[in-house]
Structure 1
């Protein structure tokens, strides 16, 4: 399980009865950042940010669809060719109440050092902990209320325009939470039968070719040739070709296999070696909700590993 937030037992919190040294009037919202979505650094674990608290995290965000339209002849209106989701801005609010003016300036500098980067990174908030956003941050100048107290607004540019699950489908239990489209029944993403259903709980189709969404299909087992994977819901087909020869009526060399076959997005490999030349270069996508699959000429296990994407 991913470790996203701090494990310290004395996390900052609002004043409780008897905590005379703690004058904090609200529960700070913890946030963590990561360059790869796997190794996380919480603001609560950054010593220089002691006393710098996020009191308002981004609200539920509206999607920003961008439509590609075309006018056709004398037809009324326009035809919708495609839609993608544009960038959007997320807002955070911070408060610091320190010892003196120097302490206040150093605290703002520490916040800037923690959030500002030439490169984008993932950020996750404890008030909606199953989702992360791919962002770049911009800090406003601090607004001082006296010499030692300031507030500051931080604007995060969400570069993808969608939120992504922290973990992937193989560990989908880590995405359990409100608003995540998950059904009551337990989901499965590893199968040993030739017919099965793969559920995409996200708000968008998983499309590794056109949208660049990660989707790794791993087959561990064997095939006598002509392996074929069909998503009957979308009509997508992936075939490891077994082209028949003109004279001997035998499958093409390389069609049969035993080992680990991986379709990572649009890149197929067999035991780690490229396998494009033996395939029809088909691409598998996952429609929103249930996807009915049929696999032919394969014996073993097949698993689907992908992150979920949501509008908010």
Structure 2
């Protein structure tokens, strides 16, 4: 029997169908991507110029069969479903049909009523997918510990030889199997890059698409007229690029940058590091799918 997994933001995931045995999952349906193009018209010219395309929130429908033993039993199950699925915070849903693709949603008003002269009923629970996309319930650096969830159609070319996301050299490839590029600036996608090692300054380049950012060394005043360069990374330090914000040992504002950022193209991304030795770098992000 298929399972429906449910998680409120900030809580542990639960198997909703196992918790409510009288509720049977029949089907899930992901709505079509909702494109929102922006155009600019030019006076005297035919048509318009396409400026950008965003993906709006989409829909997700869960078909459930409620099998009550009595009308009061049916109403109790209805109450339990409403208590779990209607919340003031986003909830994450995924099913055993595609266990590695989840959606963050908000429930839409849905009537739950039994069939005529029956204590059973089928309901098509409708949800709004906040980001308009599905996401893996794990991050890229957790991929190898979630092999049992993987299915065909996730953009991974070899299920027996999964890509790595922790690197120990100055040049390496980061594989993005998503349906879209990962852009933490324009699209606010979740991308966390962690650096360990030794460096006065670091230049990080994605030679595949030309995006980059530079972490500059800071100058520390040692006397009235004397300064010294403070390295970006020393033994035991950790620098993290969380989206477009840099942290050093958990503190924001202690790192100088050129205000650049990386974008991960679909597929392989060749990354080049300059200035970092004793390299230990991790790329952590969820995969995104329509």
TM-score normalised over the length of structure 2: 0.87
Q: Secondary structure at the match of 2:247?
A: strand
Per the TM alignment, residue 45 of structure 1 is displaced from its structure 2 partner at its CA by: 4.2
CA 1:37–1:132: 2 relative to 1, 3 Å: farther
Contact 1:89 1:157 in 2 (8 A): yes
Alignment of 1:222-301 (within 5 A): 222-223=198-199, 225-242=200-217, 253-258=229-234, 259-275=237-253, 277-299=255-277, 300-301=279-280
Contact 2:215 2:255 in 1 (8 A): no
1:179 is matched with which residue? 153
2:223 is matched with which residue? none
Structure 2: tracts of 5 or more residues without a match: 220-225
Structure number having the greater strand percentage? 2
Q: Secondary structure at the match of 2:61?
A: strand
Aligned-residue CA RMSD in angstroms? 2.3
Per the TM alignment, residue 256 of structure 1 is displaced from its structure 2 partner at its CA by: 4.2
1:49-100 deviation line (CA, Å, top 9, x unaligned)? 3312221222x54211111111123232111111111122222222223222
> Separation in 1 of the partners of 2:272 and 2:101?
31
Per the TM alignment, residue 277 of structure 1 is displaced from its structure 2 partner at its CA by: 5.0
Q: Secondary structure at the match of 2:102?
A: strand
> Separation in 2 of the partners of 1:254 and 1:230?
22
CA 1:56–1:183: 2 relative to 1, 3 Å: same
Which contiguous aligned blocks of 4+ residues in structure 1 show a shift greater than 4 angstroms?
Answer: none
> Separation in 1 of the partners of 2:46 and 2:257?
43
CA 1:276–1:67: 2 relative to 1, 3 Å: farther
Structure 1: tracts of 5 or more residues without a match: 1-26, 245-249
2:6 is matched with which residue? 33
1:70 to 20, 23, 40: 40
> Separation in 2 of the partners of 1:99 and 1:128?
31
The count of aligned residue pairs is 276
Alignment of 1:161-176 (within 5 A): 161-173=132-144, 174=146, 176=150
> Separation in 2 of the partners of 1:221 and 1:72?
52
1:191 is matched with which residue? 167
Q: Secondary structure at the match of 1:109?
A: helix
2:53 is matched with which residue? 83
